[in-house]
Amino acid sequence: MPFDVVCIAVIGKMNNPLYIKNCSSTYQDLKCHYIAHTSIDLVEERISTTKHTDQYLGLLYAMEELAVFGYITNTRVKFIIVTSLQDVAIKDQEMKNLFRKIHNSYVSLVSNPFYNPDSHKPIVSANFERAMAEVTAT
Amino acid sequence: MLKQPRQTGEEIWKTRIDKISAELFTLTYGSVVAQLLKDHENYLEVNKQLDKMGYNIGVKLIEDFLAKSGTNKCGDFRETADTIAKVGFKIFLNIIPTVANFSADSKEFSLILEDNPLSEFVELPEGAVGELWYSNILCGVLRGALEMVQMQVEVFFVSDVLRGDDATELRVKLVKYLEEEVPAGED
């Protein structure tokens, strides 16, 4: 993979954090939480103005060598991927692939009869963790 | 004409069975188990309930099975085991478990399920891991079905992938063959 994923965040439909994973050693966890939080505003802005029908929201914003990409599902669950900025522009197709993988793992998680998606509690699932580790490893 | 049970199962599956979405089936069973848990809040009780439900299903399912497969009476318990695995499971779940660990007196055997359509996507919650047998309904189904063909059996799970074991294994024990009994009212 030509770029590094710094963190992945899954945010529920009430804008509650469900899952935040810090994949880098250089940034603190708190920073990941902060970035995920600020991305929520941008996601809301994007969906209210344009791109109603597209799930992939593209580059939301860039700051201090980090680029933030967003993706929203039809059930208003948001996925955020933060990567470190490289000289080479990151292709949309690659980001879409990553988001699709995350979406598939999320679907498997929700299909678990013991998972309650309305509970607003953070995600606790060994399979989901494993899938996220795979996403960042490739 | 005696066909191989594997072939019979395959044929019946392809021609005479209506199919539904696997996800619908898995999600329905999942919600049954989740609801039972909410109602009883006791994993052992849920195991019992699943077994009871399975028993009721098995008692009726055997008729469907015999009608669709047209198998003759099995000669011995080994044939029964084979028929269950290659025809029964194949027709209703489209899987063929492996028959293994036959006891010396041929009265017990194990069924090892490689993938279990009932438990796709399932992760057991913390407290359940030592106590809940998620697919316990299968035990009831086998018990009910075999009772209708004059065999009293005990069926129970030995291991389950959901609990972290290597394989999902069901043990079937023949208790006795049931003789035709005269109903209590007649003499």
User: Is some CB atom of chain B closer than 8 A to the CB atom of A112?
Assistant: yes
**Side chain identity, residue A79:** F
Which of B15, B174, B169, B168 lies closest to B90, judged by CA?
B15
C-beta atoms of B123 and A127 within 8 A: yes
* Cβ-based neighbours of B24, under 8 Å, separated by 6 or more: none
Q: Tokens at residue A133, please?
A: 């580790």
pLDDT confidence bin for B181, thresholds 50/70/90: low
C-beta atoms of B23 and A112 within 8 A: no
Which of A61, A67, A27 lies closest to A43, judged by CA?
A61
The per-residue pLDDT of chain B, averaged, comes to 89
Contacts of B33 in chain A (CB under 8 A): 113
C-beta atoms of B123 and A111 within 8 A: no
Domains and CATH numbers, chain A: 5-137 (3.30.450.70)
Q: Tokens at residue A134, please?
A: 């795979």
Nearest CA in chain B to A124: B125
Q: Tokens at residue B59, please?
A: 């008692």
Architecture of domain B23-177: 2-Layer Sandwich (3.30)
Helix (H) or strand (E) holding B27: helix B22-40
**Cα separation values, A116 from A120, A124, B34, B119, Å:** 8, 11, 10, 17
Helix (H) or strand (E) holding B173: strand B168-177
pLDDT in tens, B118-155: 998 899 988 888 899 999 999 999 999 999 999 999 99
Contacts of A111 in chain B (CB under 8 A): 23, 26-27, 30, 120-121
**How many Cα atoms sit within 13 Å of B41 on the Cβ side?**
0
Contacts of B124 in chain A (CB under 8 A): 114
Nearest CA in chain B to A126: B123
Q: What angle do CA B127, B130, B136 make, to 5 degrees?
A: 105
User: Is some CB atom of chain B closer than 8 A to the CB atom of A125?
Assistant: yes
Nearest CA in chain A to B123: A112
What is the C-alpha to C-alpha distance for residues B92 and B61, in angstroms, rounded to an integer?
9
pLDDT in tens, B45-97: 999 999 999 999 999 999 999 998 888 888 888 888 999 999 999 999 999 99
